[in-house]
Structure 1
């Protein structure tokens, strides 16, 4: 569904953004601004371990140097620290941050806590636990290797003993002798490995304390990142509230089902508006087009008359002059869009231009055109619906107080609205030969089907859209229907646009009294 632009939405719902901005500014200014006393103080402590090796190189040990940080934060070490300090292992591990410096061979374990003593305790406990665990891990690895070497040596001794007996039995068998020599060499290698493992000749990674943990305060900026004075907080809140309010305004605009601006109406119609009927208030239900009245409202209907006159002149120049009166059909997507006011005042404006005009009502469910044109309630026609075929169309016309303006209205007859609309449409062609212009007030396009009887006769279709009233969905459906069925020229009339009413524009009041003329400029 097509909607107005974001800028148009903000123009219409500016008050939403304003209220959000005002509320944001007030809420931001109410709390007491944060001070340095409100900052959260934490403590950090770092225990530094020196990494060394029994062979002088920390890069040739069984334990990889880059695995020390993993051993410190995952597995056995956090579990033992948690058990020793009575805390959860995950909590303990999250409180420390190991940092390995391979250049100088040091490992720093930094702990963070809310108290100095707790930070020092965490760092020292992790360091001592890691040191003891690494020694234990390497000792277990040495014991496992020694056990594997002993088992291998026993197997080799048994194999050598078997081959020696076989060699004694076959002293000339060189294959057996070669196998015996190979096993002897393998046994020599295993023996050397046994000796090195048994007497700690293999390299071992050693962790030793270089510096005990010492806690120091670490001030956090929590709460201090926000503005520190009420005016700046209020300005910040105004900005945030305005942004949020603008988003809400856009959302409300997208959910809005009514046409709110001329630009939106033109977008749905597919062309610029021919005329804009202003919303000046106090117009009532009577005719506003009178010889003694010239203001923004009445002249807008005269402008519509000029638009139709120019359209007729263009048609006559492009094709040929009509040999009959042009039929103007006034429609709208829904009820209450102002089509009856347009039809009545357009007919009065045409009469001002010396056009013999017939105003035709086809909205038989809510007939109001006669009330606009006649001083008294209309008298029912002296014919029954069944007798319409026996009378001429001119006998159905009613005189109005306005010269050269007559009315065709069958709303008093006892017949369905569809039948009355069909009978009215059949009378248009004969009446077009005795008039200069015919203005037809129709029922809503989206509510009834009577308008379909009239579209084939329409030379001009005036589509009325009232701002803040007409629905966008109904307008889309109506435009699709009208464009598919009509061959006449279509004109958009936007009703209800807010225009400031100026007394300097008028030289005649509604009661016929001359108003004070404006100063010439």
Structure 2
């Protein structure tokens, strides 16, 4: 399909695309988050005060610096949940939990630094709390250090007293006693030295942390502070796997602070969702159209049949499909009637162009000399289709009406004896072997060529149909054959020898491409005189509504509804207009044979019996 076909396909399924676009817009409106602008000037201000400490280089477990055994992470734990908040609360008053919630600690293991953030609503009070946190942190560490040193001193003093008592208890001057006293003297000397070291450490122990910098309180926003407090910057797994982890600081947050929450404007969400749904639906429609085996457009019909489409009949409304009216009579100014007039013009053009085959070929029966025989008067047009319910009967009834508009005599023969429906459109009774008047002036109807088709063989029925066509050529201007589908029965193929033109009807959205190809192959095998196809229910037909903007498709004729062609039939001139019965068609200039020879009367108002092949009517015998 080219671009124009794509557009036509999308136009044909515009309702599906519209529904998909609406659903996409609704889903996008519900799912896609909407942005929320954050104006820092309108946010609550929170004051932050900071202190940064750097750890002193010392050897762990050194008796001279007991605080070295505390890691930076242990110090952070003491600030947030340990004894530091309790010491701050004792000093400033308040709840230790409130102070613990106001502090945030950032530890950098590579630089061995510890940074304390304290938040508050008042800058002076915040600075005071930060200073107290720093002082109490050092005091807490010193307290742990002194506690450990004092405990170690007491333990060492007790051990020294025990050694001295044991030394005093050793008596005798033998070698064993002397050796024991010497061993105890060495242990006593070591304990005394250890005790002096502990006492020296208690009096001159240094702080494990050194204040590196402190910053006066500065304002920040509540969301920024909340983000900082929620951050987890302490590596809790293997240190080797977290050495490159960057801790989150206030500087990082300030540099990357968003001013707007991510999302789309509601209108953009609706537009994007609608476009997305429409695109998905369009892709699905085009994919299904490419895989659809049915005929929809004129181009597809011509490609499937291999011959041109000579008429495109727009799709009937739902109410019109339920009715059995001949719309060319009930609404003669509608675009539907004009489409059937286009089909009539194609038939008349082929008829007047002299391209109709000779009904009596050379050397055939009745023409042993092979001389050229002049065409008889009537033009026989077969209306058929590949399958059932594709619009043959509707096309035959409307074509008969538009052919009779110029005064031509039209005979419609029902050749689909298995499913006869043509009488419902023409408003005639289903009487076999009779030429029946219809509600359309100039159109007569043959409902059946045998008394009972159920008792006759198909070959007998088809022979009788050919005999009727042969007998009626001299009486009528056009004979329309509403036949059975080509691919379901052989009836249409058997009537081809007496047919001058074949019009194949296909319905858009129903006729299969494969069926159209098989029907065309069958017609080609029989050398059928096909003039083209009529595409009914065509949604892509050229819109005649733009020209007939003043008339509705359902508007009835201005004249008498029972006889919309009364002006043509009852005109003062006895001469049929536009080359009608006497001068029109392929029999132009040829005097018709007397109808009485075939048992048909030229008086249209008189009901006469059908002729048989030999010209005798068994009912009249």
Structure 1 length-normalised TM:
0.54
Structure 1 partner of 2:430: 378
1:467–1:314: structure 2 CA closer, same or farther, 3 Å change rule?
Answer: same
Structure 1 partner of 2:247: 215
Contact 1:47/1:214 (<8 A) preserved: no
Aligned to 1:315, the other structure's residue is in SS state coil
Structure 1 partner of 2:26: 26
In structure 2, what is the Cα distance between the partners aligned to 1:465 and 1:298? Answer: 18
In structure 2, what is the Cα distance between the partners aligned to 1:412 and 1:302? Answer: 34
Structure 2 partner of 1:361: 414
Tell me the matched-pair count.
343
Structure 1 partner of 2:240: 125
In structure 2, what is the Cα distance between the partners aligned to 1:16 and 1:465? Answer: 25
Structure 2 partner of 1:268: 304
Q: Are 1:461 and 2:493 an aligned pair?
A: no
TM superposition shift of 1:448: 1.9
Alignment of 1:124-143 (within 5 A): 124-125=239-240
Contact 1:260/1:467 (<8 A) preserved: yes
In structure 2, what is the Cα distance between the partners aligned to 1:243 and 1:444? Answer: 40
1:510–1:15: structure 2 CA closer, same or farther, 3 Å change rule?
Answer: farther
TM superposition shift of 1:4: 9.7
Structure 2 partner of 1:476: 517
Identify which of 227, 233, 237 aligns with 1:116.
Answer: 233
Aligned to 1:327, the other structure's residue is in SS state strand
Is there any run of 5+ residues in structure 2 with no aligned partner, and where? Answer: 39-105, 112-230, 359-371, 565-621
TM superposition shift of 1:422: 3.9
In structure 1, what is the Cα distance between the partners aligned to 2:107 and 2:349? Answer: 87
Structure 1 partner of 2:7: 7
Deviations along 1:48-75, one digit per CA (max 9) or x if unpaired, are 9xxxxxxxxxxxxxxxxxxxxxxxxxxx
1:228–1:265: structure 2 CA closer, same or farther, 3 Å change rule?
Answer: same
Aligned to 1:341, the other structure's residue is in SS state helix
1:278–1:462: structure 2 CA closer, same or farther, 3 Å change rule?
Answer: same
Identify which of 184, 204, 229 aligns with 2:265.
Answer: 229
Structure 2 partner of 1:249: 285
Contact 2:235/2:242 (<8 A) preserved: no
Alignment of 1:49-448 (within 5 A): 115-118=232-235, 122=238, 124-125=239-240, 215-216=247-248, 227-254=263-290, 256-279=292-315, 281=317, 284-290=323-329, 293-315=332-354, 323-324=375-376, 325-373=378-426, 375=428, 377-381=429-433, 397-398=435-436, 400=438, 402-403=441-442, 405=444, 407=446, 409-410=448-449, 412-413=451-452, 414-417=455-458, 419-448=460-489
Higher relative contact order (CA 8 A, sep 6+): 1
In structure 1, what is the Cα distance between the partners aligned to 2:380 and 2:282? Answer: 47
Deviations along 1:228-248, one digit per CA (max 9) or x if unpaired, are 433333333223222222222
1:344–1:367: structure 2 CA closer, same or farther, 3 Å change rule?
Answer: same
1:30–1:421: structure 2 CA closer, same or farther, 3 Å change rule?
Answer: same
In structure 1, what is the Cα distance between the partners aligned to 2:497 and 2:261? Answer: 72
TM superposition shift of 1:26: 2.0
Aligned to 1:358, the other structure's residue is in SS state strand
Aligned to 1:504, the other structure's residue is in SS state coil
In structure 1, what is the Cα distance between the partners aligned to 2:482 and 2:2? Answer: 28
In structure 2, what is the Cα distance between the partners aligned to 1:254 and 1:343? Answer: 32
Alignment of 1:478-517 (within 5 A): 478-497=519-538, 500=545, 502-504=549-551, 508=558, 511=561
In structure 2, what is the Cα distance between the partners aligned to 1:33 and 1:293? Answer: 58
Contact 1:330/1:462 (<8 A) preserved: yes
1:10–1:46: structure 2 CA closer, same or farther, 3 Å change rule?
Answer: farther
Contact 1:33/1:228 (<8 A) preserved: yes
1:315–1:36: structure 2 CA closer, same or farther, 3 Å change rule?
Answer: same
TM superposition shift of 1:454: 1.9
Deviations along 1:427-447, one digit per CA (max 9) or x if unpaired, are 434443554322111111232
Deviations along 1:327-380, one digit per CA (max 9) or x if unpaired, are 2110112222221122223233333334343322110111122343353x2334
In structure 1, what is the Cα distance between the partners aligned to 2:427 and 2:303? Answer: 37
TM superposition shift of 1:406: 5.0
Deviations along 1:66-100, one digit per CA (max 9) or x if unpaired, are xxxxxxxxxxxxxxxxxxxxxxxxxxxxxxxxxxx
Contact 2:401/2:443 (<8 A) preserved: no
In structure 2, what is the Cα distance between the partners aligned to 1:214 and 1:295? Answer: 80
Aligned to 1:117, the other structure's residue is in SS state coil
Is there any run of 5+ residues in structure 1 with no aligned partner, and where? Answer: 38-42, 49-113, 129-211, 382-395, 515-521
1:434–1:239: structure 2 CA closer, same or farther, 3 Å change rule?
Answer: closer
Question: 451-460 vs 419-428, which deviates more?
Answer: 419-428
TM superposition shift of 1:504: 3.4
TM superposition shift of 1:451: 1.4
TM superposition shift of 1:403: 4.1
TM superposition shift of 1:309: 1.0
Deviations along 1:205-242, one digit per CA (max 9) or x if unpaired, are xxxxxxx8753478999xx9964433333333223222
1:317–1:462: structure 2 CA closer, same or farther, 3 Å change rule?
Answer: closer
TM superposition shift of 1:463: 1.4
1:335–1:30: structure 2 CA closer, same or farther, 3 Å change rule?
Answer: same
TM superposition shift of 1:36: 10
Contact 1:359/1:438 (<8 A) preserved: yes
In structure 2, what is the Cα distance between the partners aligned to 1:331 and 1:226? Answer: 65
